[in-house]
């Protein structure tokens, strides 16, 4: 394990009584890297985050955060530089946003002078002196992000962080996280929102029933999953039969609308199909290439990991 790695897990398992909720997980997160942790409810994602925080000890395996064990003496100083946003944010309702963030700043040993600026950055500037009981779910979520960002964290652990945020606030949230990442912060983001994280993380890890069933870049996972690239071709209605004949044997074809054919290409047949379709010249009106989405990949690995 390298000290430059923000997270290094080796053979980590966690058991509660007879239930093994995390099973032999190997996972690494480099400095300044972002990783999306995906999985169904009960897959073990939140338990894994709690292990990283030192809130629970693994039943087996090794855990290092920035080269140190979360349960070792003196880890509290490093923990102060870890930002954590839980899935369900709970705050003291009688405090104002400013008071609450000031409280957390003092807990982390940080200057309270940053509080107003940080609340402005998460869109709570106008509401910082309102009591938290008057905050909507989305506002509480943004307050939670503000406390996670306190103290320029070296590691951010975010569990379903965009719950309750509208599209504009989600974009602003990811911009703030990307800014921290550019400054060297490592980010682990657990989410069910596959379309959100698809283009916003360096690597993707997929858990199923406590096991890590896939981990890699989106390109690597597409290759490993073997999901087809779909090519949708629109042609003159009179040319559809010729189109399907021309592409026979290259990709599975189906008529999706009058004059529109969709091909499912596997195993490197995409370029051959495109050459054949392009050879039809003016008979072809449009070509759309649709690579496998993260949802397609997730479904494939989930199917493979399901019990027989």
Question: Could you tell me the CATH number of the domain that includes residue 25?
Answer: 3.40.50.300
pLDDT at 1 (0 to 100): 40
**Which pLDDT tens digit goes with each residue over 97-113?**
999 999 999 988 888 99
Assess whether 167 and 65 both reside in one domain.
yes
Assess whether 219 and 238 both reside in one domain.
no
pLDDT at 73 (0 to 100): 86
Assess whether 168 and 76 both reside in one domain.
yes
Looking only at the bridges linking them, the beta strands covering 5-16 and 60-65 are antiparallel
Q: Which CATH number is 254's domain given?
A: 3.30.70.260
Assess whether 194 and 283 both reside in one domain.
no
pLDDT at 60 (0 to 100): 96
**What's the pTM value of the predicted model, to 2 decimals?**
0.84
CA distances from 44 to 47, 167, 238, 260 (A): 5, 28, 54, 43
Among residues 192, 208, 223, the one where a domain terminates is 223
Alpha helices in the chain (DSSP H): 45-53, 75-79, 97-107, 115-121, 137-149, 167-182, 194-197, 218-225, 240-246, 270-278, 294-305
Assess whether 248 and 210 both reside in one domain.
no
Cα angle for residues 35, 162, 94 (degrees, 5° grid)? 125
Residues of the chain with pLDDT under 50: 1-2, 306-308
pLDDT at 3 (0 to 100): 53
Assess whether 265 and 217 both reside in one domain.
no
Q: Who's near 151: CB < 8 A, 6+ residues apart?
A: 80, 81, 83, 105, 108, 109, 110
Whether 106 maps to a domain, the answer reads no
Structurally, the chain folds into a number of domains equal to 2
**Which pLDDT tens digit goes with each residue over 190-231?**
988 888 888 889 999 999 999 999 999 998 998 888 888 899
- Which residue range forms the structural domain that includes residue 254? 228-291
pLDDT at 283 (0 to 100): 85
Whether 131 maps to a domain, the answer reads no
Assess whether 185 and 202 both reside in one domain.
yes
**Which pLDDT tens digit goes with each residue over 52-65?**
999 999 999 999 99
Assess whether 245 and 180 both reside in one domain.
no
């Amino acid at each position: 394990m390298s000290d430059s790695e923000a997270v290094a897990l080796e053979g980590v398992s966690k058991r509660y009584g007879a239930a093994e909720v995390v099973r032999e997980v190997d996972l690494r997160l480099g400095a300044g890297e972002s990783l999306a942790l995906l999985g169904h409810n009960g897959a073990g994602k939140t338990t894994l985050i709690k292990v990283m925080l030192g809130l629970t000890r693994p039943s087996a395996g090794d855990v290092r955060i920035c080269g140190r064990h979360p349960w070792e003496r003196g880890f509290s100083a490093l923990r102060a530089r870890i930002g954590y946003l839980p899935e369900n944010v709970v705050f003291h309702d009688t405090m104002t946003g400013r008071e609450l963030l000031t409280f957390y700043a003092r807990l982390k040993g940080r200057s309270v002078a940053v509080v107003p600026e940080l609340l402005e950055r998460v869109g709570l500037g106008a509401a910082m002196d309102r009591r938290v009981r008057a905050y909507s779910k989305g506002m509480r979520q943004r307050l939670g992000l503000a406390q996670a960002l306190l103290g320029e964290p070296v590691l951010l652990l975010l569990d379903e962080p965009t719950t309750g945020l509208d599209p504009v606030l989600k974009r602003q949230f990811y911009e703030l996280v990307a800014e921290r990442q550019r400054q060297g912060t490592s980010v682990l983001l657990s989410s069910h929102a596959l379309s959100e994280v698809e283009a916003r993380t360096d690597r993707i890890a997929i858990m199923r029933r406590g096991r890590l069933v896939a981990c890699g870049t989106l390109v690597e996972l597409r290759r490993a999953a073997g999901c087809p690239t779909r090519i949708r071709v629109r042609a003159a209605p009179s040319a559809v039969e010729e189109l399907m004949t021309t592409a026979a044997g290259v990709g599975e074809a189906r008529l999706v609308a009058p004059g529109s054919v969709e091909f499912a290409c596997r195993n490197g047949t995409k370029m051959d199909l495109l050459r054949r379709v392009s050879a039809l010249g003016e008979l072809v009106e449009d070509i759309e290439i649709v690579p496998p989405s993260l949802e397609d990949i997730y479904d494939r690995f989930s199917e493979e990991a399901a019990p027989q």
